[in-house]
Structure 1
């Protein structure tokens, strides 16, 4: 049976990407279970190791949120949820980002307090097979173990996040790719303790905490903007989505359309499109005209899922920039109006 998001059947490329992403999410959870256990067993009194352990615990949230969101978005629209359940992706993204920000703030405060209080973390010797070994070497070995797999998982997830237009998966991949810095920070902090630089551990912990907070704030901004029906953007939230311009071009290409604009919002994996078209003078569009215009838009991409085409006498000011005589002046006027 083909995979679906709501009532939309996924193309083969997206179906394969979804299956791969689900497998990678489970692999990430499996790896994290071993990582948090290993770090917990060796972290001792090191603040850097504590921060790394807490980051690994937080890393459970994005893959779990992704799996739950995907499961939810499979549900077809209902009378209670006529737009479907695609917003589950945005909710999962918001939950993950909020958790990162909250824990990041706490960890920054905790790490800074340790630095201000000049706390000296004890890292002593342990006996293994009759040999006395500095426990710092065990910490370094564990951090080295936690450095490589997340980077590989993150690199594997990133193109899938683009293919599926899934921001929870992107947030997960982005965190994974940066995990090597957490491991490196932990190693530097432990080595600093071994060299007698007590403050190195607190500084490393502060660096790891700041990284978590930065990731959280970046993802929180994108998640909140999407849930507030901002213009559809790319999966990483950096640029307007190319489909916004493609929808504009496809609308104005209709022979009976004098001017057109649209409002495109990101529902999660799918886009909801409100298209407005001004007919040429003297032409009254038929139901067939409107149906064909809608079909032309849905043919653009699998994400263009829910389209409404409305003939109007004049375009609303809030639509995307449109072609036609005087468009530049009109758009400049709209921008000036928004700035007031």
Structure 2
């Protein structure tokens, strides 16, 4: 495909063109982004400094929180800054970089969520073999595989999109650079690239979701022979993860399992998995997890005690 590129920058339409609504959106999304960063950092710091949270589940959770921060940081700051200006532009290189980051961290998150479901399956269905199967080395390999899988996926998406000829127009009806909006701007037949996008992004989202559902079906089947107390404890452990899976994979599957088309709902759906889900993850995993809440209280009470002790000594 001959790459004819007369476009040096792209113009975002953003979430809205109304100036009054943009001011409200600026305050709202700035607040949400701060919650994402601070909430996920709180989880990472708590897991890192707490000796009680040393199981594989929290090891994976710390990486999930890190990916959430990175994932939102690829799109949210640019979107928030765009609420303050009339013309929302991004360079061609910046657009391709943003496209790479969105798919890299988004795909990595989907793989980590799948790994977390596998961890819960082993913990509940094979408790006697859990420590021998989910060793520290295996956990590290699973996380590394998630990063490599995300890298390979994002490279394919970015390289394929970068090869498209863009000769105008350069206006994107979105608030960040993604494959579907860019494909619609290409001045060539995009059937092949459309097939690549659906087969790559769609298959990854759908296969990960099917794997997750299969894991939890197996968990539910195995719980039938447990006592009511054991079932409640196991279900409580899995409830947080299931909630996050639904919030993340539902919108992603809607976006990437279908051919490229211009739906006005795309921007709203994208907000769910780039902003709302990363914001809710810390709340879901802390409010529904007694171990995490206890570890946070203990850790931060110790920090305050140390601060009060150091204060008089310095004086």
Normalising by the smaller structure, the TM-score range is 0.3 to 0.5
In the superposition, the TM-score normalised over structure 2's length comes to 0.37
Bigger proportion of residues as strand? 1
In the superposition, the TM-score normalised over structure 1's length comes to 0.35
The structure with higher relative contact order (CA 8 Å, sep 6+) is: 2
- In our comparison, the structure showing a higher alpha carbon Rg is 1
Bigger proportion of residues as helix? 2
